[in-house]
């Protein structure tokens, strides 16, 4: 069993549209465990560190302006193959290509307002988690339903 942790963020448009509960509910109903969560308003410095791989690209400034425009909800999510599972649940980055039933496919129309972010690799998950959470903010606990979710 490859239990791992990943980073998920409900972006400003998702918060403003009241979709935080929907996103969290979908993750939990799937069997994933929220081990850290907080609401924050990202400042420019954190935004630039988070999106550092896009520095210099034409969409960088609009992306930074958008992600700092309102509060977000940041989470650390844990589960079997969590990165792959979460990415599948989020849908393609461009919501026009995202399948119905995915978060982006159900709630977004534009890439620049696609409701959620999720880490795309173990390396980015580790980096993004460390940007948003201190070790003491991440909880290690066992959910009562884990014995019914996981095969040994």
State yes or no: is 117 an active-site residue. Answer: yes
The rounded distance, in Å, linking the Cα atoms of 131 and 62 is 21
The string of pLDDT tens digits covering residues 18-35 is 999 999 999 999 999 999
Domains of the chain: 3-141 (3.30.70.141)
Predicted TM-score of the model (pTM): 0.94
User: Which among 104, 112, 108, 107 is positioned nearest to 66, based on CA atoms?
Assistant: 112
User: Which among 111, 112, 84 is positioned nearest to 95, based on CA atoms?
Assistant: 111
Is residue 1 over pLDDT 50? no
> Of these residues, 117, 119, 128, 132, which one is catalytic?
117
């Amino acid at each position: 069993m490859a239990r791992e942790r990943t980073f998920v963020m409900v972006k400003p448009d998702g918060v403003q549209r009241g979709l935080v509960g929907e996103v969290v509910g979908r993750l939990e109903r799937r069997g994933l465990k929220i081990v850290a969560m907080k609401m924050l308003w990202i400042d420019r410095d954190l935004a630039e560190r988070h999106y550092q791989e896009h520095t210099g690209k034409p969409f960088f400034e609009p992306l930074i302006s958008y992600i700092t425009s309102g509060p977000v909800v940041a989470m650390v999510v844990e589960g079997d193959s969590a990165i792959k599972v979460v990415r599948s649940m989020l849908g393609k980055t461009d919501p026009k290509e995202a399948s119905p039933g995915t978060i982006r496919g159900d709630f977004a129309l534009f890439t620049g307002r696609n409701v959620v972010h999720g880490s795309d690799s173990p390396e980015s998950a580790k980096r993004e988690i460390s940007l948003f959470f201190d070790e003491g903010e991440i909880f290690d606990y066992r959910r009562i339903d884990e014995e019914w979710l996981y095969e040994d």
